[in-house]
């Protein structure tokens, strides 16, 4: 086999491996359950639109809006606006491990410097409403 043919097949194997990893990460992200969630005792709901945007409402009032990204079993939330938004330097984003079973979403802090966001998300069973 010529050196060029060998290099070409190595590139094909690498390209296949990269595409496979990307497909897997997209499949895992697609597994994240979009919808609106409420937790017993929490006077607010959290909604994920399935397109990378989230909102927190207290009744009809928007309290926080921002973006989210899923990579495997981790959910990254980035606040953009709203009276409850974490907007100080280093506090805009937080990462959480997520698990979804029996229509219930649970979140555990991986890293987040915004104590209010942490307190409002972890330790609760977020039941999907719609």
Tens-digit pLDDT profile for residues 7-36 = 444 434 343 333 333 333 333 455 899 999
Q: For tokens 């959290």, name the residue.
A: 46
What are the boundaries of each domain within the chain? Answer: 1-30, 33-128
Q: Max Cα separation, the chain?
A: 69
101 vs 60: CA distance, rounded Å: 27
For 89, residues 6+ apart whose C-beta sits below 8 A from its C-beta are: none
Question: Taking the model in full, what pTM does it have?
Answer: 0.76
- The pLDDT score that the predictor gives to residue 62 is 98
The architecture that CATH gives domain 33-128 is Beta Barrel (2.40)
């Amino acid at each position: 086999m010529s050196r060029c043919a060998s290099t070409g097949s190595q590139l094909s194997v690498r390209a296949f491996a990269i595409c496979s990893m990307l497909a897997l990460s997209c499949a895992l992200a697609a597994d994240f359950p979009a919808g609106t969630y409420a937790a017993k005792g929490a006077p607010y709901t959290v909604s994920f639109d399935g397109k990378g945007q989230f909102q927190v409402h207290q009744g009809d009032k928007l309290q926080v809006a921002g973006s989210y990204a899923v990579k495997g079993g981790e959910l990254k939330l980035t606040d953009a606006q709203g009276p409850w938004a974490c907007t100080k330097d280093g506090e805009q984003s937080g990462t959480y491990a997520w698990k979804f079973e029996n229509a219930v979403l649970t979140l555990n802090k991986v890293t987040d410097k915004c104590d209010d966001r942490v307190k409002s998300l972890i330790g609760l069973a977020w039941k999907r409403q719609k």
